[in-house]
Amino acid sequence: MSQRARDVNKRIQSPINLDKTIRAPPSKPVVKFGTVEKAEFENLGTTVEVVLSAGTVKFRQKEYVLQQFHFHTPSEHRIELEYFSLEIHFVYKAANNATLVLGALFELTKDGSTTALLTVLAASLDEITEPGSVTETGH
In tens digits, what is the pLDDT along the chain, a chain of 139 residues?
455 555 554 555 678 888 888 888 888 999 998 888 889 999 999 999 999 988 999 999 999 999 999 999 999 999 899 999 999 999 999 999 999 999 999 998 899 888 888 888 999 999 999 999 999 988 8
| Cα 9 to the center of its chain, rounded Å | 20
Domains recognised in the chain with CATH numbers: 3-136 (3.10.200.10)
Residues in the chain: 139
Q: Say what the pLDDT of residue 1 is.
A: 47
Using alpha carbons, select from 129, 108, 128, 99 the residue that is nearest to residue 40: 128
pLDDT score for 82: 92
Chain centre to alpha carbon of residue 60 = 19
- pLDDT reported for residue 2: 55
